[in-house]
Structure 1
């Protein structure tokens, strides 16, 4: 455990980039060999759009990183946050509790709020417009949403009182988990169900990308599935009933053109239909 702490305390930016690129590459190869759906689309042009948003997400987080670093340092220096107020415990338990809480605030809560607050939904909508969900979809976030996500992550670090090594560990696991649960991979049904009791499995998250309510407003988790089950937002839908996208933007010129995707947050909002 100490080796993990030491590594993530000083993890080079290159290694963090390799985690991002390596994860996409691995899941890209797996989904090509064992696809959940044989989707009729041009994979590279589709990936190009999602890679653009991946790049803007990296830029936003790089520019604002100093805020996250200073926040983590402040919590430790001032003995502030949930982890700092807990009694002495084994480091592995301390780490699990910290990761669970960071995931609750930085992922689950952020995602839930984006669905419930109209102006934030307009930015998050770009992620849901993808009608071909694969591992590249994981990072399909409008730059405005990247800022919102960063704010929630920073809030999580402050409330949890997480040291920077734990933040880097959380972010690395979050990237891999998102690439995994978005990947167009076919897992044995029983294995996927088993995994969904602990982490967000591919089939569990795909339900969130079904094009109509109430499924769009469910399964908000990223790493751990416990929060959806605990707060009653877990939903199941057989994979053969899944239709990707969002019913307000099903036309290709709306969901598969970069210029329009960048403009969506500033366009007039549209109302969902229930299934």
Structure 2
């Protein structure tokens, strides 16, 4: 047999560990940022190497075989250690050490609130560069980030964490359409639906003693950042976290409907992972974003 056929397919092993963690080829492809066909090819390479199946189909589901479970349980932790060590050594060897990576599952929060304020943190910290990445996938110890900002995820590795915001919901609309109006406007003006946060509207309706039958349902958008231009320019309403519309309200671009505030019960947290190459800067960032969020509340008189 040619020597190259005996080489251990390391890339295929990494892909297989991701399949095992994510529970499917589809989710593994999303996590790795590649196609399902590419993930399937790597899986085939590894199965050919071992001469046995690692994954088997059971109806519509894919499950690990006994051999697959044994292999992933043996290799996953050492692989994490290799990835972590390599990334840390690479970062130490880079000339630009004054840099941190912020990962978040809150894309609208990052777009409308966090990123517009980053220059202030950079200036305060003497020119620190802050990279921002967005992902809804649960983080792993192999992922390259210093800080996680999230509402619905947590880290499974040592990290310091901060409570940065207890989410408050408000109903907003364009001043041209809602100025001087009361909460009864929801009976006649369409309320937009955000499919990535299906919990928000029902939570808000309960707090307002309303039901879905009491409001006029509007268009659907995947995320709040897609809905914001619609509510700014159109005759419609949006129920959203106060923190992502606070600057727009202060600037007079949106109005809060009086009496529409209510807590959602959700909490935003920031995690500074211990493995960060810049742990002090990461912790300083978490403290800074916690202070920033506290200043974001809109005065009740608005």
TM range (shorter): under 0.3
Quick check: which one's strand share is greater? 2
Scaled by the length of structure 1, what TM-score is found? Answer: 0.23
Scaled by the length of structure 2, what TM-score is found? Answer: 0.22
Higher relative contact order (CA 8 A, sep 6+): 1
Quick check: which one's helix share is greater? 1
